[in-house]
Amino acid sequence: MDEEHLPEALRAVEDELAALLRRGRALSWEIAREVHPNLEPNAYGLLLWLRRSGSIRLTELATRLGIGKGTLSRQIHGLEGLGLVRRDPDPDDRRAAQLSLTEEGTRRFDAARAARLGQIRRTMQSWPRRDVEEFARLLHRFNDTF
């Protein structure tokens, strides 16, 4: 579909996504600094996956995130150096490792996440609950099919 035939609603979606991504990048810098002053902004999403998973193999995490094992391994190494992530031997395969947040990583992540959720709560406090639920559902649907 060429630009001149693109429905106005799709143009609006593109415009709003661009604004959301721009704000998201700025927010990522803020949140990363809250977790640790030397944390790269894109590492917050990685920490979120580790927090949700509890413990996960590097290969499985790379698949879920859609990035290469080498790239992920370098990122994990940096997070280990900051004391936020640890590797433990996989009980099912001694050649592999399980990744998880350290106690310090969990503490710092949870504090930064609480601040982020507070921002979202303040932004959406005037929205009816059903609108917030619908927004979450639609974002999930978009991300799941994207």
What does the angle CA 62 – CA 111 – CA 58 come to, to the nearest 5 degrees? 15
pTM equals 0.76
pLDDT at 32: 85
What does the angle CA 16 – CA 22 – CA 26 come to, to the nearest 5 degrees? 140
Q: Torsion-angle region of residue 66: left (phi > 0), alpha (psi -120 to 50) or beta? A: left
Confidence band, pLDDT 50/70/90 cuts, at residue 124: very high
Determine the Cα–Cα distance for residues 25 and 42; give it in Å rounded to an integer: 9
What does the angle CA 108 – CA 75 – CA 100 come to, to the nearest 5 degrees? 50
What confidence tens digit (pLDDT) does each residue in 71-121 have?
Answer: 999 999 999 999 999 999 888 887 888 999 999 999 999 999 898 889 899
- Name residues whose C-beta falls within 8 Å of residue 73's C-beta, 6 or more positions apart in sequence: 58
pLDDT at 5: 65
Q: How many residues does the chain have?
A: 146
**The two structure tokens encoding residue 56:** 């996960």
What domains are there in the chain, each with its CATH number? 3-145 (1.10.10.10)
What confidence tens digit (pLDDT) does each residue in 5-22 have?
Answer: 678 888 899 999 999 888
What confidence tens digit (pLDDT) does each residue in 21-34 have?
Answer: 888 888 878 888 88
In the block, tokens 């030397």 appear at 38
> Is residue 1 over pLDDT 60?
no
**The two structure tokens encoding residue 82:** 């900051």
> Is residue 4 over pLDDT 70?
no
pLDDT at 45: 84
What confidence tens digit (pLDDT) does each residue in 43-75 have?
Answer: 888 898 999 998 999 989 999 888 898 999 999
The closest of 96, 88, 103, 77 to 55, measured between CA atoms, is: 88
* C-beta neighbour count of 36 within 10 angstroms: 19
